[in-house]
Structure 1
């Protein structure tokens, strides 16, 4: 006979993705070119990240250090989401997300030494250098140092996530490490689209592509935490 808590945990696990997708869609399609309902964006953009935090919180089977730092990264991401919604909040948002990536970087070193596999670091360094070279003429002088610092932290996070995955091989945690690596790649993709839209050329339906890849990245990073096995 199943315990009531097991029932509610199962219900939560299967309901949360649908609630999260609904919240994300309301946030994405509440911009000036869509529903034109600013209040929806101010409610559902942070709410979507809060739901991902709740999802990560429920995954209690991982090593404490990794779980703690992933949650710290998600909280900093929430702060960044809120900052970016306000006029003049770009630098504050940039700093919040930089701290989020540093937290994820620490999380991904919980069981894997930093840069113990060099190939992902070379790959993401080359990608970051190419991206900066394309965007640099459009980056205002006051933002150049913060943008470089942010790109370095983002690339390091993605590279370490891939390092963790490559080091796991066929180990039991390889699935979770794979989610982390995919999350890092999606974060790079999302921020590349955001940077192109802001510093190079406006993108059609930018909010759709930037936010969908952003929340997919965060979901993958949250899923990199191991779920505690449920007992019957």
Structure 2
């Protein structure tokens, strides 16, 4: 319904349901039982809280994109801390290649149209790719289903932010709200689910 309101331009519906959807996902992490660690759970809660803040900022009728970007940047830092709190910082350099290759392709594609946003885009890209890399590392080190959910969620997060950036800075995307939100909410949902244990 949130996506439908966004695509139809129903502002009142978007203002109500967009933050409510993220808040509902946040509550999944809050009530999660037997997390891998207390720190992991709280880092996800903080990350989802800053994501909620970013959602609110970006839906306001003002050009506050840089502040929304900052909120999501902080959210990604919290996710990184969460993922490395379980198995430590994942170090195999060769595993960074797919992430860096994707980030390079994306930035090269948008570089000429980013203007003053080049440096913020570069920093944000590096941070979100690191987040996904460490989500992958958590999964490889633990083999847990909940860690796999976090990794899949991180990939969907990258897909959502990529579509958002391309639509804003490079080329308008048909059905952009469907693509952006249709990957964003599952991303946050899967990351939130990773706060719970694999074991009953």
Rg: which structure is higher?
A: 1
**Correspondence 1:175 to 2:145:** yes
Measure, in 2, the Cα distance between the counterparts of 1:92 and 1:115. 30
Q: Hey, what does 1:125 align to over in structure 2? A: 100
Q: How does 1:134-149 map to 2 (within 5 A)?
A: 134-141=109-116, 143-149=117-123
CA distance in 1, matches of 2:12, 2:108: 37
Deviation at 1:119, TM superposition (A): 3.7
Contact 2:103 2:129 in 1 (8 A): yes
Aligned to 1:189: 159
Residue in 1 that maps onto 2:175: 205
Root-mean-square deviation over aligned CA pairs: 1.5
Aligned to 1:88: 63
Using the size of structure 1 for normalisation, the TM-score is 0.81
SS at the partner of 1:226?
coil
**Unpaired segments ≥5 residues, structure 1:** 1-24
Match for residue 26 of structure 2? 53
Runs of 4+ in 1 over 2 A off after TM superposition: 115-120, 227-230
Q: Which residue of 2 aligns with 1:219?
A: 189
Given that 1:70 and 1:104 are in contact with CA atoms closer than 8 Å, whether structure 2 keeps it comes out as yes
More helix, by proportion:
2
TM-score relative to the length of structure 2 = 0.94
Question: How many Å apart are 1:228 and its aligned residue?
Answer: 8.9
